[in-house]
Structure 1
């Protein structure tokens, strides 16, 4: 069982309020940034202050409310945005790097991502091509025609992703962040996204886990990002890679800080394997002929029929990731799991 160390954060989570800005260690600050309209409510950005330089990790969702909270949090730590040397996003999701463009404009700080994280500019240069390919994928996964508009990306979604700040720096596994006075090392932890990274601060015995490890919620691992061949296998391997930080305090991007990482890793491994066993059981019964058909037979917290919109999209992509994983483990999987548009349609 984990031990909660972010007591103020835990209380805020329970009470559905915003936690306070906290100095976790000398020069290490936790700054909550609002995530409007989302059940997660906030992203925990982390300010790491070195010798005359500083880096901000996961600056959060871009909004005026979030900007005000972030600037106020930096002020509590005694700095302004212009003092920042760098911005690091653990992965390319808007609740983690959405604010990066504003910060770049206010500071001229560099922005960095893991070296293997794919960017929208690498997926497609054409909005119509991308949207059509995404729709074709979900159609091939068995989504009924009447639900395709609900789950497939629309042009506005693509434009949002293309509008986010792209990195000047790419961080390889094992390198130190290029910030004077810090000794924070990059750990490659793919799964939630293809190039997700965590950060190891051995001096302070801290590990910043982004969305890879959260204290209560199981991170979403799905066949979502382009170029991600077997996300669940990657995720399980990345859980093993976290053993290096087993004695450290965990600083996640959501919820609250904790210790007891080995126990949490075991819980996450078992959760993933239990879900795969459930998917394998559906396959063995022989009643499902598509990703949609398998997903309908699985257990969901409020039932499959309660899933709509983006939540339904994620559920289908999660199901697809388990099918790909099971096939890689030698389990007979007769259901096709194509990605994007067929070659003949491109």
Structure 2
């Protein structure tokens, strides 16, 4: 039986499971409109996930075939995975921010071996040991999950009200977790009368008890030096100024006092940056830095794929420190090492 919630004011949600993932599920929101239900995210592309979504919609007296449109907060497969199946069932439009549409298009066009080669090169440049990189080379002939996501047919334009009859839903661009992540601000009175400015569908940008992953934006064909952590911190402050009465996140549970959560996350990242600077009293590669950072478990217990994510997060923090002038690469090192500035 699907786990469902009624949040009032024509907003409900379905907990769509994520297979083999500690997050457990994605909260897919169902928003009533004058033309039928519109989904905010869809969940992972898996038979059990599809069944849960269909059961949840049935509990609300509707079905995937009745869906009018799909709004995707960002391109990750636990949010965008089932969009194609929903569109096939209903003819619904699928909308996403242009920056993440570009990632979806690139992902669909790239051959799996291109990604394996790129990831191996990135890890080598970060100082990963040969025994960690070697499996990527050996796996180049394999396929990767999530390489054929549905291509959205509409663009979510930040600042504009979305075309949802009977609703006031405005897109807020919140890059950081992905380049095209958006939050969706429901500019309507809270159904329970809670003080604040409406409700915010926050995707992965703002979660009640989790700090979302902030890694590097991966594009094998683009050498632009981005600053995802800087983007995320600026996005947090932008969302804090909205002062919503309630936040409806994609994971865990709804919560109030978005401003307090924003301040918690800003403090968390500043503390992490300070901790990294203390580690950079000696030159370290991104890999060496990641092995010394504090994670939710000791480094030897972190699975191989999760280590890749950890290194990417270490690199995003390093890049932000370099941009701030608080750290610098050591000339002539290969793989490159970093040290804090005097």
Tell me which interval the TM-score lies in, with the shorter structure as reference length: 0.7 to 0.9
Which one of the candidate residues 129, 139, 160 is aligned to 2:114?
129
Which shifted more, 46-55 or 123-132?
A: 123-132
Structure 1 counterpart SS, 2:185: strand
Partner residue in 2 for 1:231: 228
Supply the distance in 2 between the matched residues of 1:328 and 1:278 (Cα, whole angstroms).
Answer: 17
Question: Higher relative contact order at CA 8 Å, sep ≥6: structure 1 or structure 2?
Answer: 1
Q: CA deviation at 1:58?
A: 1.0
> TM-score when scaled to structure 2?
0.87
**1:150/1:308 contact within 8 Å kept:** no
4+ runs deviating over 6 angstroms: none
User: Where do 1:193-208 residues align within 5 Å?
Assistant: 193-203=178-188, 204=190, 205-208=198-201
Partner residue in 2 for 1:61: 44
Structure 1, residues 246-298: CA drift from partner, whole Å, max 9, x if none?
24201000000110111110110011111111111122x1142x111111222
Supply the distance in 1 between the matched residues of 2:35 and 2:297 (Cα, whole angstroms).
Answer: 50
Structure 1, residues 148-191: CA drift from partner, whole Å, max 9, x if none?
14678955886433311111011111122222222111000010
> TM-score when scaled to structure 1?
0.86
Structure 2 residues not aligned, in runs of 5+? 191-197, 335-342
Partner residue in 1 for 2:245: 248
Partner residue in 2 for 1:327: 322
User: Where do 1:1-346 residues align within 5 Å?
Assistant: 20-117=3-100, 118-122=102-106, 125-149=110-134, 155=140, 159-203=144-188, 204=190, 205-226=198-219, 229-283=226-280, 285-288=281-284, 290-334=285-329
Which shifted more, 113-122 or 140-149?
A: 113-122
The 3 A distance-change label for structure 1 pair 245 and 298 is: same
Supply the distance in 2 between the matched residues of 1:69 and 1:190 (Cα, whole angstroms).
Answer: 29
Supply the distance in 1 between the matched residues of 2:139 and 2:245 (Cα, whole angstroms).
Answer: 42
**1:33/1:44 contact within 8 Å kept:** yes
Structure 2 counterpart SS, 1:186: strand
Partner residue in 1 for 2:340: none
Structure 2 counterpart SS, 1:216: coil
The 3 A distance-change label for structure 1 pair 243 and 140 is: same
The 3 A distance-change label for structure 1 pair 244 and 209 is: same
Structure 1, residues 73-123: CA drift from partner, whole Å, max 9, x if none?
111222121211111111111111111111111001011111222424336
Supply the distance in 2 between the matched residues of 1:19 and 1:80 (Cα, whole angstroms).
Answer: 13
